[in-house]
Structure 1
């Protein structure tokens, strides 16, 4: 079982690495293709839309072939497609590359979380947050590697070969364990916890629970998306600080979230998922309130750090609750993950729209309201 857990760690890390590798290269891709900011923004929607399609297709694929094999295919797809947008020289090839990359990321997003639920069930203790922590580590490694290649002025070809090579080696290592490790019969027996007839929820009850968990995922990832896309801009506009000083705000958020995810499993084992989500919402609310009211960089950095720490264990608990709902299917999990992913896309966009009417600092009341709603609904992550 330990080998399976390590393999799932690998696919989470690969996912984070691939996503951040592309994100760092966006300015270079824009310069290479000659696209305007508006045109680039339109094409970036292609990646998000393709990812949502992949997520919805992933559910039926998991039901037929199992999450382990679906994740292997998703990883192989990521490794094969990451080079396309990195090498794109015009709008058509960039759009095609983003569609391929987004589609495979979407398939893998659901499959790796479904496989993580199975591994967590077999371990008999909370370990979901650790998988998401490794995803965050992959994000950091990808961003650092991308920044290094830019500083060293690597060619797009060299960057594409390096990124594809790392993804292929990681995908191959995970596939060696996952492809034959688990059969569909084993998976179907594990993904739906055994309950007596009286404990099994009706179809309507299960549907309401899945929708509620999807809304929680949407709100939590909306808040996370706002931090990712607007924290640095906020420090420049609200505090008049730019450059690497401003970047410390986002770094504080990412580092705190990563570290928080490594300890969230222990907190979940001790206090239960509901208390972890409730405490996380309180900490996140305090953090974003500090950011809104802060007149100085140090306090703002602390505020974003608290925000990341508070959110760290929330989404893993929501996904784990969806996967552990009696009678749930991989399609149910794909819906929860898909709603969450919609939130991470919608959050930054909503903030952008609101800045046309109110100062950016005031728009941060949106993620504050989101975590407040989640605090009230935290009881729904109970198993």
Structure 2
């Protein structure tokens, strides 16, 4: 549960705080919309570029490579220009990269142009990810209640819409360039409107956040990497991000190649996955309040593992789809709970959120090429066995996300 900070002490009215929260809902949703729009067209991209599964893994690696660069720079960029301005800039530039990737698929096609577009999009997306999670953590504190899973549920809402639009675009054979250009315009336009309602992350300056060395200097921001709790929380997020990301990147194609479904069905199954994640995140607030972070994270890991086993080993499509539901529910809370845990101490929140997100995004860096390489040799379904290992690691590491004692005492 978040530590309350009254709107009066924060210098904001209740409507301002709620408008801030709603703007973050929109930004999280737009980010989910863009990511799922790309993921839903991956089978069509592979076909248009006429490349192998391993080559697609390298291409998807473009997003991850850009993401790591962006994450390493994120805390420094945010410290320099603030989270609000950061979000406005990076989402605009990221939309341009997204459109470039679409044109690279349909015009040429050019593998290199697609890669460049994805690197731009990935780097901007990851900086935004840290900035919006930091904004979410501060808003959560001002509201005085846990809302981080709901922010991430809106990301999932966006992915549901993106996957549905992707399935529709695939069904009517809409050119990828047109599809991604439309999404890029919606992405940038919606973000620029929403960012007007955001507030400074230094609104909790009375708690010495704005004056803490972790946020003022490069050395302070980097010192958070020496904290063992940062690394173990990062390990939780790494495992759960890999669990979520592997579905976003490969589930549609795994259904097509592993379960012999159509490309439109593959996109639809991806939509089922992200819908399950949305349900899990909305239900997660009540579960976290009732049981706490650690039991919920461990239960999530078990549920995700069961779902993965069903998808990998059961050849009946409808049973695999049930497994996809379990997989999505199990993967839903790892990232938002990790972000909340990273932001427990407001004096180190920006630096720790950035560090944990960087560790988590390592899954997106190594995941696509690893699964693509294994998928080329043993098939995509069996390649997903790697995800089971990381789910287990995340489950065992979940103790590091335990709520601070004062917060638990207050919630009681």
TM-score, normalising length: structure 1: 0.83
Residue 36 of structure 2: aligned partner: 20
Q: How many angstroms apart in 1 are the aligned matches of 2:77 and 2:113?
A: 28
1:117–1:128 Cα contact (<8 Å) kept: yes
Give the Cα separation in 2 of the matches to 1:57 and 1:249. Answer: 35
Contact map agreement 1:62 1:70 (CA 8 A) in 2: yes
State the match for 1:254 in structure 2.
Answer: 274
1:280 aligns with 2:296: no
How far apart, CA to CA, are the structure 1 residues paired with 2:116 and 2:232?
34
Separation (CA, whole Å) in 2 of partners of 1:41 and 1:300: 23
Q: Aligned partners of 1:364, 1:27: CA distance in 2, in Å?
A: 17
Once the 2 structures are TM-superposed, how far is the Cα of residue 44 of structure 1 from its aligned partner? 3.7
Write the distance in 2 (CA, Å) between the matches of 1:340 and 1:259: 22
Partner SS state of residue 227, structure 2: helix
Shift of 1:156: 6.2
1:87 partnered with 2:106: no
Structure 2 segments unaligned to the other structure (5+ residues): 1-16, 212-222, 404-412
When residues 347 and 165 of structure 1 are mapped into structure 2, their CA distance, relative to the original with a 3 A threshold, is closer
1:367 equivalent to 2:384? Answer no
**1:46 deviation in Å?**
2.8
State the Cα deviation string for residues 258-277 of structure 1 (Å, max 9, x = none). Answer: 11111111211222222221
- Matches of residues 226-265 of structure 1 in structure 2 within 5 Å? 226-232=246-252, 234-235=254-255, 240-243=259-262, 249-265=269-285
Q: Please list the CA deviations of residues 226-265 of structure 1 after superposition, one character each: whole Å capped at 9, or x if unmatched.
A: 3334445555666x54226666654432221111111111
> Structure 1 residue 65 and structure 2 residue 81: aligned?
yes
Q: How far is 1:191 from its partner?
A: 9.1
Measure, in 2, the Cα distance between the counterparts of 1:235 and 1:81. 28
**1:5 is the counterpart of 2:21:** yes
* Offset of residue 12 of structure 1: 0.8
Over the aligned positions, Cα root-mean-square deviation in angstroms equals 3.3
Q: Aligned-pair distance for 1:309?
A: 0.8
CA distance in 2, matches of 1:93, 1:172: 26
1:54 to 58, 62, 70: 70
Equivalent residues of 2:37, 2:165 under 8 A apart: yes
1:103 equivalent in structure 2: 123
Cα distance in 2 for partners of 1:30, 1:279 equals 36
1:317 aligns with 2:337: yes
Long gaps (5+) in structure 1: 195-202
Superposed, 1:1-383 pairs within 5 Å as 1-25=17-41, 36-37=51-52, 41-88=57-104, 89=107, 90-154=110-174, 158-159=178-179, 161-178=181-198, 181-182=199-200, 185-186=202-203, 188=205, 207-232=227-252, 234-235=254-255, 240-243=259-262, 249-325=269-345, 327-355=347-375, 362-383=382-403
Q: What secondary structure, in the 3-state scheme, does the structure 2 residue paired with 1:82 have?
A: helix
Q: 1:348 to 1:48 in 2, by over 3 A?
A: closer
Do the aligned partners of residues 139 and 207 (structure 1) sit closer, same or farther apart at CA in structure 2, a change above 3 Å counting? same
Structure-2 change in CA distance of 1:124 and 1:372 (3 Å): same
Tell me which residue corresponds to 1:197.
Answer: none
Whether the aligned pair in 2 keeps the contact of 1:20 and 1:139 (CA below 8 Å) is yes
Q: CA deviation at 1:135?
A: 0.9
CA contact (8 A) 2:97 2:116 kept: no
**Shift in CA distance, 233/81, structure 1 to aligned 2, threshold 3 Å:** closer
Q: Distance in 1 between matches of 2:302 and 2:229?
A: 23
Number of aligned residue pairs: 371
What TM-score, normalized by structure 2, do the two folds share?
A: 0.78
- TM-aligned CA distance change 1:189 to 1:279, over 3 Å: farther
CA contact under 8 A between 1:224 and 1:344: conserved in structure 2? no
